[in-house]
Structures are given as structure tokens and as C-alpha cells.
Amino acid sequence: MTRFTAIEDLEAIGGSLHLAMGVFDGLHLGHQAVIRAAVRGARMSGGVAGVLTFEPHPIQVLAPEKAPLRIFPSMDQKELLIRSLGAEVLLVLHFDEEMAQQSAAAFSTSLLSVPNLRQVVAGEDWKFGRDRQGTMAFLQAHSEGSLVDVNPVSPVVWGGERISSTRLRMALCEGDLESVRGMLGRLFSVMGTVVAGDQVGRTLGAPTANIALGNEQLPPDGVYTVMVGIDGEEGCREAVANLGIRPTVGGKQRLLEVHLLDFEGNLYGRKLEIFFGKMIRREQKFEGHVELRNQIQADLAEARRRFNAADAGVGAIGRPDESAG
């Protein structure tokens, strides 16, 4: 996938360009519908499908005190999912105070001036420009007389309600991973690089790969059945993850620790994607290392039982199926 950082960079693309626009935090089914509409347009015309998004999230600049936790703290993870939907180009615009002051008309003019642009797709309620004055209707009016089709996409409904990033965050916060999976169309996952730990897990009979966390929205602290994809390897491995601060060993920093079942090897510096299944138990503080060690062994036994019984909640692993569009 080709990544650009300015609208004028899109002039280098040969063939007709079909562009999906949005923040796309979480890349839920509603976001996927927008991107798939652009991909369909590109396939019909023999052109190129692209995605225009923003970094950081605009609300982090406009109202940082109200900014929610990010679902995707990593643009790399977002790019991986966007690519799996069939897009070939990713335009990441840096959102700052200057961009926040750009008028809707100026943004529209800049975008519609891309020579080979033939389609722009976004959610029907998408807003842009200073004070969010730009709408899809505004962009449609601005595009009259051009070769660009502006296509608003209706929201996607799941469980009787419209899917949104806000609803997705709430379900994650509550630990409702079944609803999260329904709104994403895939398992919720976290991507990160394995960092050196304090080796406590090894002394407790369960060596772990430790993933440093940022300020992202995650499920409640606890022990989970998970599947782990290792960068450069095919498929995923069964594993158990502990998400939390590890109160029994005096931990202060929230970590994601993953123990891969029946695995031996060095994962330091490797990039992992951890797909969350079901919670085994909430994080708790034990009296000491002996009690903690016994509980860890019980957790591993329960995880194996769930995997063997196909009750680990890890079906439908992977990225959105681009053929679904």
C-alpha cells in the first residue's frame, strides 16, 4: 500500500481515483461499508481505491479535554485492515490547528482539484472544515460540473442500533466482546512489539511476551483466551493473556502479557497481534507468589479446556474479507 501525507500527492496516481474519507477509528462495519463502496467503484472503472484519514484524531486537537480513548493507537494496524479491504492508497493528513481553521470550501476545492479523482465516499453524516460546517450535501453541491461523484453512505445497524465508534468504545469498556465482535465483523485485536519484562512470569511457570500499551481503549483488566499472530508467520497460536497492572507483584504500569501455549522461542522485538476471545476471570490481588502461581496454572488449564471445547471465543479471526464488498 502506498501512503501519502498531502492531497497534492494524489496527483501521482495513474487511472481514476476512488476515495473513501473518514477518521475510521476502530474500522467497524460502518467504516468498512464506506471503504468498500470506494473499492467497488474502483473495480468497476479499473481504477484505484484509496482512503483519506486524519492523524491525530481531530477531537484531540479541537477539544482535547473531551477526547475519547483511541481504539487504534497505531496507524500501522489501521493500514493493515484498510489494505485487507482492497484499498491501495492511504492518505494520512496531519490534523493540527491550521487544518482545523481551513474552511469547508477550501478543503473541497483542494480535494476536487485532484486531476484523476472520480469518486468521493463518506458516511452520510460526515462533517469537515472549520466548525464542522462542511457536509456531504455541501461537497455534492461543490462538485457540480466536475467529473467527481460524491456518494454518502448510510449507517450500518447491528443489534437494532446504529454502529458508531462511541458505541464500540462503550462495549469494549464494559467487556462486551461479543457485541464488539458483532460491530467489527472480526475479533477485537491489539498490535504491539514485544518488550523486555521483569521475568516474573518465567518464575511462575508461565513465561510471557510483554506488550507495552499506550492510551487506547481496552477491555477490562483480567485474564483472557486469545489467539496470537506473529509477524512473519502464517496463522495464529493459542494463548492466554493477562491485561492489567499485576497487583500481586507490585506492578504500577498497565501491561498486556501473553503466554503462548506449547511455544518455545524468543519473541523480543517481534510484532504481535493479539486477538481477544473470552475473559477467564478478572484481575485480582493474591496473598503471594505461591497462590498466584497456582492460579496461573488453573488459568492455563481452563484456557486449554476452552480451546479444546471450541469455547474460547476466538472464531472468525483475521481481517475483514474484501470479497464481502
Q: Is the pLDDT of residue 202 over 70?
A: no
**Closest by Cα among 23, 30, 35 to 70:** 23
pLDDT at 324: 47
Q: Is the pLDDT of residue 48 over 50?
A: yes
Query: Is 198 or 264 the better-scoring residue by pLDDT?
Result: 264
Query: Is 270 or 207 the better-scoring residue by pLDDT?
Result: 270
Least confidently predicted of 76-85, 233-242, 248-257, 294-303: 248-257
Phi, psi values for residue 92, rounded to 5°: -110, 105
Section 222-240 average pLDDT? 95
All structural domains of the chain, each given as residue ranges with its CATH number in brackets, are 2-162 (3.40.50.620), 187-308 (2.40.30.30)
* Grid cell for residue 229: 499472530
Q: What is the pLDDT of residues 234-254, one digit of tens each?
A: 999 999 999 998 777 767 788
Cβ neighbours around 104 below 10 Å, total: 19
pLDDT at 315: 76
Cβ neighbours around 115 below 10 Å, total: 9
The answer to whether residues 192 and 210 touch, using CB atoms and an 8 Å cutoff, is no
pLDDT at 200: 63
The answer to whether residues 306 and 225 touch, using CB atoms and an 8 Å cutoff, is yes
pLDDT at 203: 58
CA distance 321 to 301: 33
CA distance 128 to 272: 35
Q: Is the pLDDT of residue 210 over 60?
A: yes
pLDDT at 139: 98
Contacts with 145 (C-beta within 8 Å, 6 or more apart), sequence order: none
Three state DSSP letters for the chain:
CEEECCHHHHHHCCCCEEEEECCCCCCCHHHHHHHHHHHHHHHHHCCEEEEEEEECCHHHHHCHHHCCCECCCCHHHHHHHHHHCCCCEEEEEECCHHHHCCCHHHHHHHHHCCCCEEEEEEECCCCECHHHCECHHHHHHHCCCCCCEEEEECCCEECCEECCHHHHHHHHHHCCHHHHHHHHCCCCEEEEEEECCCCHHHHCCCCCEEEECCCECCCCCEEEEEEEEECCCCCCEEEEEEEECCHHHCCCCCEEEEEECCCCCCCCCCEEEEEEEEEEEECCCCCCHHHHHHHHHHHHHHHHHHHHCCCCCCCCCCCCCHHHC
CA dist 141 → 105, 122, 233, 243 (Å): 11, 15, 49, 49
Q: What is the pLDDT of residues 111-164, one digit of tens each?
A: 999 999 999 999 999 999 999 999 999 999 999 999 999 999 999 999 999 999
pLDDT at 246: 76
Written as one letter, the residue type at 9 is: D
Q: Is the pLDDT of residue 322 over 60?
A: no
N-term to C-term CA, the chain: 19
Q: What is the mean pLDDT of the chain?
A: 92
CA distance 300 to 79: 33
| pLDDT band (50, 70, 90) for residue 323 | very low
pLDDT above 90: percentage of residues in the chain? 81
pLDDT at 22: 97
Section 292-316 average pLDDT? 92
The answer to whether residues 292 and 204 touch, using CB atoms and an 8 Å cutoff, is yes
The answer to whether residues 191 and 271 touch, using CB atoms and an 8 Å cutoff, is yes
What pTM does this model have? 0.92
Q: Is the pLDDT of residue 92 over 60?
A: yes
* Grid cell for residue 128: 469537515
Cβ neighbours around 199 below 10 Å, total: 11
| pLDDT band (50, 70, 90) for residue 215 | confident
pLDDT at 198: 64
| pLDDT band (50, 70, 90) for residue 55 | very high
pLDDT at 232: 87
Section 10-39 average pLDDT? 96
Q: Is the pLDDT of residue 208 over 50?
A: yes
